[in-house]
Amino acid sequence: MIFFLSLLSTALSNTCPVHDCSLPETLGQCLSYSNSTGIDTYNENPCQAGYYCYTNETTSAFCFPPKPNTRYPGEICFSNTDCISKNCNLTSNSCTGNVENAACLSSADCNPGLYCINQTNPVCKPQVAIGNKCNITEECYNFANCDNNICVEYFSLLEGNVTTVILPPNFAPSCYSGYANSTSNGFLCTDAPYNVSTTPVSCEMPSKCWDRKNQTYKNCQCGLDGNGYCPLFEGSNQVQSMISQWQWLIPGPGVPTCHTLHRFAYECYVGLYNETLLTMYLKWAENVNLYFHNTWVLSANATSCQEEFNIPYYVNVELQLKTTLPTCPIYYYTAENISESYQCYYNNTNVFHSDLVSVINAYGCSEGYYCPGGQNDNVNCTAIVTKALYPGQHCNTSAQCLSGSCKTVCLGKKVNEACKNNADCNPGLFCNTTNMTCKPVMTLGSICGINAPCSATLICDNFKCIKPFSLQINSVTTTGNSQYALACNSGYAEMIGGNYICATAPMNPYTIKTCLGENDCKSTLDYSSCQCGFNGIRYCSSAPGDVYFVNAKKAYLNLVGKECNLAMGVSPGCFESDMKVLLQYYYYYTNFTYFQMLPWLQDPLGPITSMYTADYWTSYKEMLRVQNNIPHSKSFGSIVSMGIILFIAFISL
């Protein structure tokens, strides 16, 4: 942020303030002030990415998570609270306002292309065309001013024409040159004055900086380095380039009609997700910052720390011109040990300092609670609950079992005994909903359906119980999806004529690869996509033909034939009586999870990664334990682990 008050107060004094900026970035105090030497000194410490120093021209400030900014109709949004209208269209991710002829209180209520007409009963009306009468600029078409009560196209008035619109510091948007000279007849459009140099020129405070022809001047102004510099004149290359670039932003095919009160806002152009148009906008915004926000002076010989702290809008524009958009989310973890009913996970995607960012803040829960974090959820700490054991799982007391009966393992209902659901029945049985009794599950090759489920380790495909990964290439499968096909020998199927057909699995020519965009991922069939990891780096996703899915497939086939309680399904509790089979389960689970979550398992960030991938790391540790024959003091299934995700649901139809 720019310290306008401090800069203005010293603009005509003999001494510029000192901006003492230091790294590393902080989450604590970001600004303090002193004047012990008689010189205003600001001690600055940039906040960590995703946090901001809200100074409001005060002399002390601390880092806080970003505050939501309200948006005008037509601008990007992610929730209703982002919008002035409190109405966010989540399909287009844009704020929705009032339509033509709808009642309004101000133009902020109306959709782009409209303004609120000032009459007895105000309504939204189309903006006024060039050449027509107006009262204020918001009434005019987006590339026109209300100048002398006429809608005048920007930069259309030739030399000698009178203009009444002058924007600080001294810009005449109606004039061809962007400049008007003050005369006894008013402001007259004329050629703009030039700087004496194309680079920042130093000056002594509080002297005057004259243009190249020595006809007009601007006051020397303070830079962030503590020295004085001459600001840009309207004839400079930067200002004249800005005027030319402005033409790119005229509404037309592929160019949005932004809101009349926010005509050239980043929030409007970023919402198109059109990188070419956004790059054009950013080049224009770069020069806008240099001139209108005085960044030409502020950035002269400034350190990167001073720029990051004081002119973040300009820095973000510069960074976006050098990198691929959009950027990955920013994740932060704070160990606050908060308890139930307190929000432990907050996802906020919004625009801050001309940058579209998603900031995810996570907070540690106190003992006995966990945070069920998710990609798009805002959630509270939740109490960890003890989960009763299913029939077939090892137990020590009857109180541990769902059935209330323990004899080394939990005992369930037998064949033909009454049941309420599958959790009541012993492994190898299911609860028949016709007569509500436990019946044997369908075996390999049997007909299967809603009330005739297969054994837990088999798949019901085309109404027949089959082994996973057993269908050959070109076979029809009813359990495939766009990511993988558990029934196909290859693990993959393509949609052809409305059916999934087993096909050769796509694969990557690399094991792990970082990427900037989809074109960097070169898997066969264009399967892989470029996805964000928790570390802010993008990675190409894994494919079914890669080693992780292949290893998972091999390990899973070693589980086939083992009977599990159907409600528990394929999980560690089903195999804990046989360490060799249990080890195969962990081989399968960790490889399959790695196939699904490769980008999110790179360079783990401790607590943040645990919130999303707790089961993977728990299973990985258990795999090592079983491999090394280390005893387990507690049944794996006795506690609901943090953030459990069921990655596979074996379909019953």
Query: At which residue do the structure tokens 């057909």 appear?
Result: 501
Is residue 440 reached through a cis peptide bond, with omega within 30 degrees of 0 on the bond before it? no
What is the structure's pLDDT at 338?
A: 61
- DSSP letter (8 states) at residue 393: S
Give buried/exposed letters for 234-262 (b at 16+ CB in 10 A, else e). Answer: bbbebbbbbbebbeebeeeeebbbbbbbb
The mean pLDDT value for 569-584 works out to: 94
The pLDDT confidence band at residue 442, using thresholds 50, 70 and 90, is: very high
What is the structure's pLDDT at 67?
A: 72
- Residue 270: is its pLDDT beyond 70? yes
The mean pLDDT value for 138-144 works out to: 96
- Residue 218: is its pLDDT beyond 60? yes
Name residues whose C-beta falls within 8 Å of residue 186's C-beta, 6 or more positions apart in sequence.
162, 163, 164
Element (H, E) at 203: strand 202-203
Name residues whose C-beta falls within 8 Å of residue 163's C-beta, 6 or more positions apart in sequence.
147, 148, 152, 157, 172, 174, 175, 180, 186, 187, 188, 189
The pLDDT confidence band at residue 606, using thresholds 50, 70 and 90, is: low
Polymer length in residues for the chain: 653
221-222 and 228-229 beta bridge pairing: antiparallel
Residue 246, helix vs strand vs coil: helix
First-last CA distance in the chain:
59
What is the structure's pLDDT at 377?
A: 62
CA atoms within 13 A on the CB side of 424: 16
**Of the ranges 5-19, 158-172, 202-216, 540-554, which one carries the lowest mean pLDDT score?**
5-19
Q: Dihedral, CA atoms, 480, 482, 488, 494, nearest 10 degrees?
A: 110
Cα angle 271-273-279, degrees, rounded to a multiple of 5 = 100
- Residue 632: is its pLDDT beyond 90? no
- Residue 536: is its pLDDT beyond 80? no
Asked if residues 630 and 598 have their Cβ atoms less than 8 Å apart, the reply is no
Paired with 229 in beta bridges are 202, 221
Cα–Cα distance for residue pair 74/419, rounded to 1 Å: 56
Q: What is the largest CA-CA distance in the chain?
A: 105
* Residue from 2, 53, 43, 48 nearest 22 by CA: 43
Cα–Cα distance for residue pair 169/453, rounded to 1 Å: 76
Cα–Cα distance for residue pair 233/1, rounded to 1 Å: 23
* Residue from 195, 194, 151 nearest 173 by CA: 151
* Residue from 271, 208, 209 nearest 78 by CA: 271
- Residue 646: is its pLDDT beyond 50? no
- 443-469 tens-digit pLDDT: 999 999 989 999 999 999 999 999 999
The pLDDT confidence band at residue 16, using thresholds 50, 70 and 90, is: very high
Cα–Cα distance for residue pair 310/295, rounded to 1 Å: 10
**Of the ranges 205-209, 228-232, 237-241, 248-252, which one carries the lowest mean pLDDT score?**
248-252
Cα–Cα distance for residue pair 41/278, rounded to 1 Å: 38
Q: Dihedral, CA atoms, 469, 470, 475, 480, nearest 10 degrees?
A: -30
Residue 454 region, left (φ>0) first, then alpha (ψ -120 to 50), else beta? Answer: beta
Is residue 391 reached through a cis peptide bond, with omega within 30 degrees of 0 on the bond before it? no
The pLDDT confidence band at residue 319, using thresholds 50, 70 and 90, is: confident
**Of the ranges 82-96, 280-294, 514-528, which one carries the lowest mean pLDDT score?**
514-528
- 37-94 tens-digit pLDDT: 889 999 999 988 767 888 776 688 998 877 767 899 999 988 888 899 999 998 888 9
- Comparison of pLDDT for 547 and 336, the residue scoring more: 547
Asked if residues 530 and 540 have their Cβ atoms less than 8 Å apart, the reply is yes
What is the structure's pLDDT at 640?
A: 28
Highest mean pLDDT among 79-93, 184-198, 351-365, 627-641: 184-198
The pLDDT confidence band at residue 648, using thresholds 50, 70 and 90, is: very low
Q: Give me the amino acid identity at 350.
A: N
